[in-house]
Amino acid sequence: MPAETAVALSVNGSTHAVMMATPDDLEDFAVGLALNERIVRHPDEIEALEIEEAEGGYDCRLWLDASRAATYVAQRRLMTGPVGCGLCGAESLEKTRPDLPRLSDRLRVAPEAIGRAMEELGARQVLGARTRAVHAAAFASADGTIEVVREDVGRHNALDKVAGWLARSQRRAGGGFLVMTSRVSVELVQKAAVMGCELMAAVSAPTALALDSAEEAGLTLAVVARGADFELASHPHRIRGAEAES
């Protein structure tokens, strides 16, 4: 069975959020969550990161540089509770529909690349193969080669871990695409837009709100992916040949 424990994100000594998560790759998780929650705009604004095991879980302690710390206002989104919704505990209705950045339009991907990435992701889900109880998120280069896989009991946590890996590796999210083993929920679309990733491929379908958000941000969704077969739910022009078939 996979581990599931409380993981707190503290910013300059103040708790920002508590998530139920799989306690692996916590450095990636902390940096990715800070970026996707817009606590920081760039990883260079993080002066220090400490991971400390505490009674009942882990504390990921971020210390921001002086300029960012001066503008940071903790949202106090204490999200201890059920795994599966990165929006639980938002302080107001407006917080559930933040303004999303409009994505660039540079990426073009062959259909075969999505099939290649889905197949490779399945082979690289180490924790998933052992437990059958976790989600996986991955980042693939434009040709479908998987560059990183992160697993977690929460799909949004897995995506935050990928975001953190990209930032810590100084990789540009717009140079490839995301691959998910879950349905496409609205918080995944929001995180992808903040990351600057133009394409997300997933094994399941999007929710209506996720699709609306993808249309707004300019995100291409390739969904219900089964090997080389998938459906294009939004902005299909990034898939080579899609316009000719429409």
Positions marked active-site: 85
DSSP 137: E
d(CA 237, CA 246): 10
Token reading at 212: 């609306």
Q: Specify the pairing of strand 46-54 against strand 229-234.
A: unpaired
Question: What burial class does residue 33 get, using C-beta atoms within 10 Å of its C-beta: 0-12 exposed, 13-18 middle, 19+ buried?
Answer: buried
The string of DSSP letters for 7-72 reads EEEEETTEEEEEEEE--SSHHHHHHHHHHHTTS-SSGGGEEEEEEEEETTEEEEEEEE-HHHHHH-
Distances (CA, A) of 156 to 21, 23, 67, 165, 187: 10, 14, 29, 14, 7
